[in-house]
């Protein structure tokens, strides 16, 4: 592949550093104050926090922008103040008042005020890009936002929501990337034709967080410079460079040569290969990411309930886990990942060709049918897709794989022009509604729906399940809420157009002189600032 060949010729960070006064280093050594990662980042569509909704783009935003509140990973994901020094909730659970931390400045030097918070929320709900529904569900839209989100003074923001949601649910949503606070003066200065600065923000940043974007080249790399004036204290490293390396084998080679400090996407075989390398350590973290197939209900064959269930019996979950993803994914068949309130560990499906054939015959397809799957051209996705292709063929289902990069396959998926999509879904915030909403709510199945959840992307029209799922965010009793989510998932497993297969275990292989990297449960919780190099 073209970009792999480039990587073998020269380090991408060397070209970047050549623009500074620093001395060029040898190929097998990264600068002491710079952390260099090899990672698959071809899924990035935008760096704008109002638009970014892919794992890699969200991770960039988590390190560039601050939010009103965040989570403390070391304390059970407890909600803690970030830009908000404190907050209060009205007795009717409709009004939230946030007192801002004084003295915070954006990377530009502009002071961060309550007006920036109001502008950021207004901008996000008005643009209404992919993550916009996270804020819109609280009654915030382009017409209502300035009535419901107000700066009562430079250091106070008051937000009024439409219903008495559980406060933890609302606050968890404010930890999502779409709730990032942007520098309103800088964004307005780069606005073009009423786009709220979105065109400029796709490649640049306007934040106050631990890092600022130095350069971003799509499908190649991004470089972040440390914000020495960050309110939490300067990051432990001066710069982070993340290079797109699609092949795990190439990531391993670069790591072992010392051309990168961290390899983020090593496969089962590559991890086994570096296990005994005395210069390499392995860091693991259980991720909330779910690997699944989405079956578009616009396809008349996939719209048949017997076909949907047959395809769930036609995945050899155990063989794929053992032979392809061992150590990086674990078998999981429900939409809530382990570790979330209400998660279940039920596994009702296993590889059963006879059962699948019986269901296909009942659907009027005794000889199977032909269907396509959009497949991101990276491992292990390609290997998993090929394994499923082989599994399905045993029941006469001819699966044609359509390869593409992350941006191509996601764009097609979001337009509902796929047959089947294989991909991951990760939590946008650490509340169970984050997955329940996207997998089990479709409030409007029309092409111009305001909320385009995964259920919507697969044209699954579910008014009754939608009502049940929406109602559960108003339940303040955690035990009752968990019980409802359990029932909901069991129904979903049986009838949904989702073949849920695995939950990810994220693994990073790093040079032994690298310390401080902690893998969080979501892309929003992968933080670069604590990383040090000895």
Share of the chain above pLDDT 90, in %: 91
What pLDDT shows up at residue 135?
A: 96
Q: What is the pLDDT of residue 28?
A: 54
Q: Show the tokens assigned to 354.
A: 């006879």
How would residue 429 be classed by pLDDT, with cut points 50, 70 and 90?
very high
* Domain definitions of the chain by residue range: 2-48+209-279+512-533, 69-186, 287-505
How many whole angstroms separate alpha carbon 177 and alpha carbon 70? 10
What pLDDT score does 10 carry? 39
Same fold, 2-48+209-279+512-533 and 287-505: no
d(CA 242, CA 223): 6
For the residues 437-455, what does the mean pLDDT come to? Answer: 95
* Distance (Å, whole) CA 132 – CA 184: 18
**Is the model's pLDDT at 373 over the cut of 60?**
yes
pLDDT of 99 strictly over 80? yes
| In the predicted structure, residue 167 carries a pLDDT above the cut 80 | yes
Is pLDDT of 173 > 50?
Answer: yes
CATH of the domain spanning 69-186:
3.90.76.10
- Please state the pTM of the whole predicted model: 0.82
Please give the structure tokens belonging to residue 218: 């799509």
pLDDT tens-digit series, residues 274-291: 989 999 999 999 999 999
For residue 18, name the pLDDT band (cuts at 50, 70, 90).
very low
Cα 369 to Cα 302, 352, 386, 396, 519, distances in angstroms: 10, 18, 17, 7, 42
Which residue is it, tokens 């937000």? 159
Rg (CA), the chain: 23
| Averaged pLDDT for residues 23-43 | 79
| Helix (H/G/I), strand (E/B), else coil: 93 | coil
State the distance between the two ends of the chain, measured CA to CA, in whole angstroms: 33
Q: Which of 26-40, 214-228, 437-451 has the lowest mean pLDDT?
A: 26-40
Residue 73's pLDDT band, with cuts at 50, 70 and 90, is: confident
According to DSSP, residue 472 is labeled G
Least Cα distance to 393 among 333, 311, 494 occurs for 311
Q: 2-11, 148-157, 349-358: which has the minimum mean pLDDT?
A: 2-11
Q: If one looks up domain 287-505 in CATH, what number appears?
A: 3.10.105.10
Q: CATH: 3.30.565.10, 3.40.190.10, 3.40.120.10, 2.30.110.10. Which one for 2-48+209-279+512-533?
A: 3.40.190.10
């Amino acid at each position: 592949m073209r970009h792999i060949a480039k990587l073998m010729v020269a380090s991408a960070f060397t070209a970047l550093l050549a623009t500074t006064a620093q001395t060029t280093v040898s190929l097998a050594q990264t600068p002491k104050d710079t952390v260099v990662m090899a990672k698959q980042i071809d899924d990035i569509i935008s760096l704008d926090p109002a638009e970014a909704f892919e794992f890699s783009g969200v991770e960039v935003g988590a390190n560039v922008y601050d939010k009103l509140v965040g989570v403390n990973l070391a304390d059970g994901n407890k909600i803690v103040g970030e830009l908000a020094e404190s907050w209060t909730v009205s007795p009717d659970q409709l009004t939230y008042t946030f007192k801002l931390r004084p003295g915070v400045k954006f990377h530009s030097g502009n002071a961060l005020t309550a007006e920036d918070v109001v502008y950021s929320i207004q901008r996000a709900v008005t643009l209404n890009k992919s993550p916009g529904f996270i804020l819109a569900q609280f009654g915030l839209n382009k017409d209502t936002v300035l009535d419901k989100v107000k700066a009562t003074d430079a250091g106070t923001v008051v937000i009024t929501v439409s219903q008495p949601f559980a406060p933890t649910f609302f606050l968890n949503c404010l930890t999502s990337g779409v709730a990032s606070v942007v520098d309103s003066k800088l964004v307005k200065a780069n606005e073009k034709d009423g786009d709220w600065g979105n065109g400029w923000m796709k490649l640049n940043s306007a934040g106050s967080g631990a890092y600022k974007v130095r350069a971003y080249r799509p499908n190649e790399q991004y470089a972040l410079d440390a914000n020495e004036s960050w309110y939490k204290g300067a990051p432990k490293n001066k710069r982070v460079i993340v290079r797109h390396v699609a092949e795990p084998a190439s990531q391993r080679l670069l790591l072992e040569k010392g051309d990168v400090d961290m390899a983020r996407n090593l496969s089962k075989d590559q991890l086994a290969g570096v296990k005994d390398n005395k210069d390499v350590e392995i860091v693991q973290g259980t991720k909330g990411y779910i690997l699944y197939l989405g079956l578009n209900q616009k396809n008349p064959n996939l719209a048949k309930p017997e076909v949907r269930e047959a395809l769930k019996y036609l995945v050899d979950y155990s063989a794929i886990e053992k032979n392809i993803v061992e150590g990086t994914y674990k078998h999981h068949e429900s939409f809530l990942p382990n570790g979330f309130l209400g998660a279940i560990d039920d596994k009702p499906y296993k590889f059963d060709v006879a059962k699948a054939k019986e269901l296909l015959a009942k659907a009027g397809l005794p000889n199977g049918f032909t269907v396509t799957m959009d497949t991101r051209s990276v491992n292990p996705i390609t290997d998993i897709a090929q394994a499923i292709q082989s599994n399905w063929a045993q029941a006469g289902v001819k699966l044609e794989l359509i390869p593409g990069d992350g941006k191509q396959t996601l764009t097609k998926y979001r337009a509902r022009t796929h047959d089947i999509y294989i991909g991951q879904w990760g939590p946008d915030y650490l509340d169970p509604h984050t997955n329940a909403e996207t997998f089990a709510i479709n409030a409007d199945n029309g092409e111009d729906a305001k909320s385009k959840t995964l259920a919507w992307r697969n044209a699954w029209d579910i008014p009754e399940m939608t009502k049940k799922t929406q109602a559960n965010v108003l339940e303040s009793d955690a035990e009752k809420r968990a019980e409802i989510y359990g029932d909901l998932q069991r129904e979903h497993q049986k009838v949904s157009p989702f073949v849920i297969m695995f939950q990810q275990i994220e693994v990073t292989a790093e040079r032994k002189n690298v310390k401080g990297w902690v893998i969080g449960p979501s892309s929003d919780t992968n933080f670069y600032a604590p990383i040090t190099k000895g």
